[in-house]
Structure formats: structure tokens, C-alpha cells
Structure 1
């Protein structure tokens, strides 16, 4: 096997790379074949039709050989790359259900939608504990704010995935939950004493290690209690010391993407790759977002470090040996996702969406025979791990089927003119005020909610992504825990019950 622990040293085997689009071009195939990368991570831009994506995976395997690890981020909720299969709920929705059986089955459902194409590695689930409501990038990707709950449900999810044939990767070790910064944009710091980290951030990861979960993904975050200088991804104290020696973990350690600003701004041109390997990582996620030169830079950085003695051959061989074991355990042989199984999984996802719906306060009675107002954003900004969101027009179309006399204003999150005009035109008419974004609320929905409260007008806040926003607007609320089709169908059913 190329790059195996007993074969010739192929340092680029430790790189997982990305691709620009839904097809593997001849030039890209030659680069993969000549470089001998360990695998590819697929993003939303790589998924198209089922047949086309299956061909892409097959072409990647033809270029890299049978040892290839094909990865993606199919977490559930808002972080999904493949959208033409049953979509697992967000981890936070599973936290609301608080069922290990549901979490385990959600992991299986995620895996079935990947192994169908031959994808054998899922960079999920998040075991970050959502202890900071100002966190810009974790939120609903966490199973909750209680470490024990995150541990129980997160480990169950990971084991469900692996039972179905796809290696899980618990992330972001040693914990991204207590920061108000996004490592996609900057280098956050979690400055907590070791005793507190052990009680909170580390507890779910330690349980995952004890359960033998196949891989762990690192966080690009400083933890001064362990290492005041290097982020966890590049820290021997965190990876070799805490994870390997103290906890005895012998699975694969994979870095988060090295194009994220927390790393790329400080270690450009692939310089982080040999540092991560030396620290204890087994594979480095190199993302160029269309720029294949990024992967060549990482490869050259590894070769230079080996040549100059900054990275040992033994360390690379050890990393390749772990990758060999992972591929042997999760070979990625496509397993057909039958129509009957898809139907069962779709029904299960729908039941979870209905069970996770959360009411806050006393909702108004909404009569479909009478006028009703909808105020919603035109669209929601996305970034970081998120690729799509719910448009106001789509929401309005859905609600119009329930409320034929619906009057809608879609706003840009800044100009209140149209929304105020609608309220003035229909005094006393009930209002649905929707928030559809992940990030912090702008002043406009706060202003509108304040006016509705002041007028004592019947209103219902539809919270269609970030559940924390319900408390901010102080209106009766219906929290969907997501905007996927199952969530919207559950929302519609709940609203019809208000007649």
C-alpha cells in the first residue's frame, strides 16, 4: 500500500486536500496521483447529483488508490454538505430530545447518506460544550450546555456513525465552546484553569477516547493552561501530552482546516503542516478553496521539514500506520441506500423535528380566515462552516399555504421603513416576526419586537435557526431548531394547530 507504515515514506499521505468543483479534471487527477495525498475532503461545492458525486468519489479513489479517505462535514442541522438524502437534525435539537437512542440513530442516518457514495469519514460530531451564548460558530452544532449531556449524546452519535461504516471525528478538541471568537477569522483563547477544563470542555472528549471513537479533530485555539504559545493544533502539550500520553488515545488525530485565519495568518504557505505532525497530529486538512497550489505548498513544507530534520521519518511512519488502520476499519466500499431505508429515515427525521419544536410563552390564536402579517429577512448571512440558509421568500410561500390572507414584508435587516408601513396599514392584525440567521441579531428585529410589545399586539416570534434569539426579543416564540424541510414541515403543522 502506498505510504503504508512498512512501505516507502510518502509524507504527502498525511495530507487531506480539497477540490474546486463537482468533477475531477484530468489535471487534478494527475496531481492527486503524483502527490499521493491521503484523501480528499468534500464541501458543498463538490456535491451535485447523486450519480455525478458518486463518479467524483470513484475518480478520487482511482487517482489515490484504495487507501484513500474521503471526508466531509455532515453534522446535521445547518452544517450539511449532502442535501439529497435524509438530513439529520442539529445536535442541539437532539439535545432537546435528550435521547441516546435518537443520537445514535442520527449518526447512522448521517453515515448511510455518505457511505452510499463511498465516503468513509465524517468530520462530526461536535463535542464542544455550548457554555458561551456569544459563541459565533458553535451554537446549535453543540448538543447543549451540560458536559454530561454532550458526552452522552455526542459519543452515541459518533458510535452510530461508525456502526454504519463511516469513521466519526469528534471536534474541536480540546473544546471550542467557551469563546466569543471564530477560529475561521482569528485565533481565539480559552483561558481557564485546567481543573475547569477537565470538568467542562474535556469531559466529552475523554468519554469519546474511552469509547474508542476513530478520530479526533483539533481546534485552532490557545489554551494557556496547557500551552501559552501554540494553538492546540500545533501543540505537543495538547496532542502528544494530553491526548496521547495522559488519555492513551491511539486513534487518528486530524487538524481542522489550515486555511482558517487562526493558522494561515501565522503559519502561511503550509508551514503549519510539519508543526502539526511533530505535535502529534496524523493528518493535516489542507484547504485551498479552488487553489490546488495550496496542497503543493503543504507537501513542500513537509518535505523541507523532513530534509532539515524538523520532522522525523518515524513520526510520519507512525501517522501513516494509524491512517492504514483507519482505512482497514472503514474501507469506504459503497453501501446502497435503499429506497425503503431512505423512506424510514425521512420519517424518523420528521418525527424528531416535531418532537424538538419548542414553545416559549403563550402563543396567539391565528385564524386562517383573517389577515396575518409576516416580517422576515430577505436572506441570512452565512459563513464559517455554514453554506446555506432560509430565504424569506421561501418562508412566505410556505406560510401562504396555511394563511391565504398573509401580507409579507421582507427586509434587509437594516431599513425598517417597509415593515413599519405594513404595521401601520394593518393596525391590530397579528404578526409573525421571523428570525432566520445564525449570527447576532441586528437592531431591526429588536426595534420591531419592542414596538410589538409596546402596542400589545398579538405576535409570534418564529425562531428558525439560532434558538438563543427567542430570549432576546421577549415575544411568545416557536423555536424550530433549524430550517431544513423537516423543520419547516413541523413548523407548519404546529402553526395550523393554533387555529
Structure 2
């Protein structure tokens, strides 16, 4: 597939290297100059929902030009647009304002049309649809003032026990997942929003969440080349940026996780693959890194290993610690001047190729209605049947069994609340809703034996345990988040890969018989 995008692997004369930047780098023995460089090589998390004077001064004093906003920074579209406009004004024309708007459960802004999860698109297996969705996602976040989206995910979900990737992956086949992800990225870049593919070299084949501990992928280089590396290798010419994984790959570097490995980031990604885009770390506040090395020390090692930007997402204290450690390392010559100049140039090139909009605090979103329709259709096309699910006839008496609580896992947004699922079903059936607080304590045998059609709706990411696998026997399992939960319940299932409003609307349409579920599971491990 030919990508009509701005290529990351630009010629050397396209590299930005201003005389001012050269002067800064060649005079790095002064503390002020070192501090200025350090500030331009980190991305930080913002507090609150607006930019106050104190935070604005912190950005100016520390020369920070890259921030990432999360759900806690957002109230509504008007507030968010004003926030990003204020950030642009303070950080200047080279600002990078980032967001995790992958799709499915990983979306920070819910006021723009919500895209299906990557695995839903994998179930549709349509590059044209992926490209259209990627473009619509870009239009949505661009209308809110963002110019950098940390998507698409290139991890292969070839491990059914993966606790954090799951439906965020396009699938388990490297060539097909890469093909669909590249189409998604092409759509985004065509609308002027930079992508950041993640998590290099691959987070799919782990059973540990790096937010909580340090995973290991113990595969040979040949195995990594054939699987985990393959989608990233496909993207290396076109991806403006790559995010690193906090994972140890002993065959590549037994001492450091990829984020801090010179053998991986410089030896493989830069020297062997000749990747010229921006390399940014995953959040350095994650326990896999901060809990072992400390934020400041880890940031220095990551930058020295080959990263261009360090994602310092922790508290203000963590950010100050990171800035101080990087300033000292730069001033002491721990990172060579030529390397610093290359890092600054790559980041500046990204801001120039994908600039923040400068048209006021609200940008007209002219295609919102069309994009809403596109997302609704995309969610429908991803609906996947497992073990031949059948819907009860409209008007039937059904019993909904569902978790009373939905929580965020720290990466995704919180799942859909039980009353919303109950309300959707009540438009079609006569519904009796039974809630449970803890799945492993719920006694399935205590449900009345009254002939009602029983529907289990799974609305959290956590997998079910062995006891549940043996005892729970619903007539229909609505898998509204983690597709691998369908392996845990021995019943027919309808898999949505997410719980956004258009996903629930698609379930309702299937239950009414208005549409068919024609998606195909794009992962191994299912007995289809």
C-alpha cells in the first residue's frame, strides 16, 4: 500500500538545524542553556482543567513545548478548546499537544465521534474503513486543538492473557495488523495530525501490565523479527513518531528495558532501521520504570539510549526531578552535543510538519455529522459472533446479570454503567436486572429458575476466574469490552470490543434483528 503522507525518513536537508539551536548546543556548559535544552526534551502532564498563571510560568521558565492531556483535564469541548488555545499561546508555534485517542476504551475526549477499538477494525478487516476512521479521529482531536495523537497501537495481541493491550491491538497476525494500522495512520496524517505508533518493540505478548511491573518478552531475535518487530518495521518510513515499551527483551538487552536500552533504540531503531522520526518514551512514572530506577535517573538513561522526548507524566515534583537530572546530564556532557542537536531537530521537525492550529480557541468541526455516521457504521461492522449467538425475540422476558461497578484500569476510561445497558435492553425486552459487586463471589445458581432468557453483560476489562468458567451459564454473553472474556464463559457471545454509545446502539440493532454480526476474530486462541 502506498502512503501519501509526509515521510518521517526525510532527507538530511529537511532536518531542522537553526543557528540559534546550534548555539545553544555548543554552549551547553552554562546551566541556563542546559536547562533550556532539557525543557524541550520532555513532555509533561498538566494539572487541572485550565491554564493558570502559575502553571503558565512553569512552562515558560522551563522551556516546555510538549504536554499531554488526559480525561481529568477535560470537562467539555468549549473548556478543552480554550485550554489547548492557552497552551499554544504560552508554548509558542512549536507546541506539541498530545492525546491518547486510540478508540474503544482508550479515548480521552468523548465529545467528538468515538472510534471503534483497533480490534473491532481488525474484525472488519477493511483498510479503507481503517483509513476513514483514522482521518475522522484526526479531524475530531484537531478541532479541539491537538496536533499529536498517541495512536495507532502496533502491538500484536498474540497472548490471550495480556492484561493491558487486548482490544487495543488490530490483531495477532503481523502483516494484517500492520496493514490495517498503516491505513489508520495514513488517514490521520492526511488530516494534519501526527501519529505516534506504540509500544516499540511490542507489548502484545506479555501477561504483565508495565504500569504495575516490569514485563519480559523472552524471545529470540528471529522470533521478534517475525512477529513483534514486523508492524513497526512496516511503519518505520512513514510514522512521525514511535513510543517505547517498558519491557525487557533479554535477547536484545538483558540489562535494560527497551525504553532505556541503547542497544534497542540506537542499535536497532536508529542504526539498523535508519528510523528518523521522533522517539518518545512511555510514561516514566509507570511502576516498571519509576519504581526501579527513579524518574530522574531513568530519564537520563532513556535520553542517552536514543529517545528524543521523555514523557515525564508524574507529579510536579517528579517533573522537577526529571528536569534537574537532564539539566545536569546535559551540562556535564553525558549526552553528546551532536546527539542533542539531532534530538532537538527531530522534535522541531515534527512540530513544523504537524503544527498546532492558530485560528482561535474553537476550530470549526465541519464534518462532525458525517463522522458520527461513519463511526456508527464502523462499530456495527466490527460486531463479532462467537459460538453462534442468538437473540431472544423482542418482547421476551430477559434477565440481565451485570457488574454494579465499573472502574478505569488506569489506561482506559471506566466501562459503561449497568443502568445504561439495562435501559438499552428495556427498549426491546421485559428486563429484570441483577447486579453483582464481585464476580468471583456471585452465586449463579441463586438466580431464579423462571424460564427467563439470561444475558450476562461484561463491562470491565478483568478476566473471569476458573470457578466462574465452571459455574456461569448464561444464554447470551454480551462482551462489551475485553474480547478474551468470551473464552471464560461457556456460552454464545456477541463481542463489541468496546462500550461507547455507538457500540451499544450496534448491539441493540443486532438484538432487534436489524443487522447481522459479521466480524471475524483477528486473534489466535479462539476455538471458532
TM range (shorter): over 0.9
Task: Give 3-state SS (helix, strand or coil) of 1:6's partner.
Answer: helix
Post-superposition Cα deviations, 1:456-499, rounded to whole Å, max 9, x if no partner, equal xxx11111111111132120111112100110000001111299
**How does 1:33-112 map onto structure 2 within 5 Å?**
33-112=60-139
Contact between 2:463 and 2:484, CA under 8 Å: does it hold in 1?
no
Q: 1:418 deviation in Å?
A: 7.5
**How does 1:326-365 map onto structure 2 within 5 Å?**
326-333=350-357, 338=364, 340-364=366-390
Q: 1:368 deviation in Å?
A: 3.4
Contact between 1:22 and 1:52, CA under 8 Å: does it hold in 2?
yes
Task: Give 3-state SS (helix, strand or coil) of 1:233's partner.
Answer: helix
**How does 1:256-271 map onto structure 2 within 5 Å?**
256-271=282-297
Contact between 1:416 and 1:444, CA under 8 Å: does it hold in 2?
no
Does residue 250 of the first structure (1) align with residue 302 of the second (2)?
no
| Cross-structure match for 2:469 | 446
Post-superposition Cα deviations, 1:274-293, rounded to whole Å, max 9, x if no partner, equal 211111110010012xx222
Q: 1:169 deviation in Å?
A: 0.5
Contact between 2:74 and 2:109, CA under 8 Å: does it hold in 1?
yes
Q: 1:380 deviation in Å?
A: 3.1
Contact between 1:159 and 1:213, CA under 8 Å: does it hold in 2?
no
Contact between 2:391 and 2:511, CA under 8 Å: does it hold in 1?
no
Give the TM-score, by structure 2 length.
0.88
CA separation of 1:257 and 1:43: change in aligned 2, threshold 3 A: same
The root-mean-square deviation of aligned C-alpha atoms, in Å, is 2.1
| Cross-structure match for 1:475 | 491
| Cross-structure match for 1:396 | 422
**How does 1:482-497 map onto structure 2 within 5 Å?**
482-497=498-513
**How does 1:305-320 map onto structure 2 within 5 Å?**
305-320=329-344
Does residue 18 of the first structure (1) align with residue 45 of the second (2)?
yes
Does residue 295 of the first structure (1) align with residue 322 of the second (2)?
no
CA separation of 1:333 and 1:491: change in aligned 2, threshold 3 A: same
How far, CA to CA, are the matches of 1:277 and 1:193 in structure 2?
26
| Cross-structure match for 2:212 | 185
Q: 1:448 deviation in Å?
A: 4.7
Contact between 1:120 and 1:166, CA under 8 Å: does it hold in 2?
yes
| Cross-structure match for 2:10 | none
Give the TM-score, by structure 1 length.
0.93
Does residue 436 of the first structure (1) align with residue 452 of the second (2)?
no
Task: Give 3-state SS (helix, strand or coil) of 1:130's partner.
Answer: coil
Q: 1:221 deviation in Å?
A: 0.6
How far, CA to CA, are the matches of 2:323 and 2:108 in structure 1?
27
How far, CA to CA, are the matches of 1:88 and 1:231 in structure 2?
31
Name whichever of 99-108 and 143-152 sits farther off.
99-108
Name whichever of 96-105 and 70-79 sits farther off.
96-105
Contact between 1:4 and 1:324, CA under 8 Å: does it hold in 2?
no
Task: Give 3-state SS (helix, strand or coil) of 1:389's partner.
Answer: coil
CA separation of 1:485 and 1:310: change in aligned 2, threshold 3 A: same
Post-superposition Cα deviations, 1:297-328, rounded to whole Å, max 9, x if no partner, equal 11100011123332223322211111111111
**How does 1:377-416 map onto structure 2 within 5 Å?**
377-403=403-429, 405-414=430-439
Structure 1 regions of 5+ residues with no counterpart? 453-458
How far, CA to CA, are the matches of 1:213 and 1:92 in structure 2?
20
Contact between 1:4 and 1:317, CA under 8 Å: does it hold in 2?
no
Name whichever of 228-237 and 371-380 sits farther off.
371-380
Q: 1:41 deviation in Å?
A: 0.5
Name whichever of 232-241 and 441-450 sits farther off.
441-450
Alignment equivalent of 2:476, drawn from 452, 455, 460: 460
CA separation of 1:208 and 1:312: change in aligned 2, threshold 3 A: same
Structure 2 regions of 5+ residues with no counterpart? 1-16, 25-32, 516-528
Does residue 118 of the first structure (1) align with residue 134 of the second (2)?
no
Q: 1:339 deviation in Å?
A: 5.7
How far, CA to CA, are the matches of 2:155 and 2:311 in structure 1?
20
Does residue 321 of the first structure (1) align with residue 337 of the second (2)?
no
Q: 1:382 deviation in Å?
A: 2.3
Contact between 2:403 and 2:438, CA under 8 Å: does it hold in 1?
yes
Alignment equivalent of 1:427, drawn from 450, 459, 462: 450
Alignment equivalent of 2:239, drawn from 208, 213, 226: 213
| Cross-structure match for 2:519 | none
| Cross-structure match for 2:310 | 284
Contact between 1:122 and 1:166, CA under 8 Å: does it hold in 2?
yes
Alignment coverage as a number of residue pairs: 486
How far, CA to CA, are the matches of 1:417 and 1:135 in structure 2?
25
Contact between 1:365 and 1:498, CA under 8 Å: does it hold in 2?
no
How far, CA to CA, are the matches of 1:487 and 1:66 in structure 2?
38
How far, CA to CA, are the matches of 1:490 and 1:4 in structure 2?
55
Contact between 1:4 and 1:320, CA under 8 Å: does it hold in 2?
no
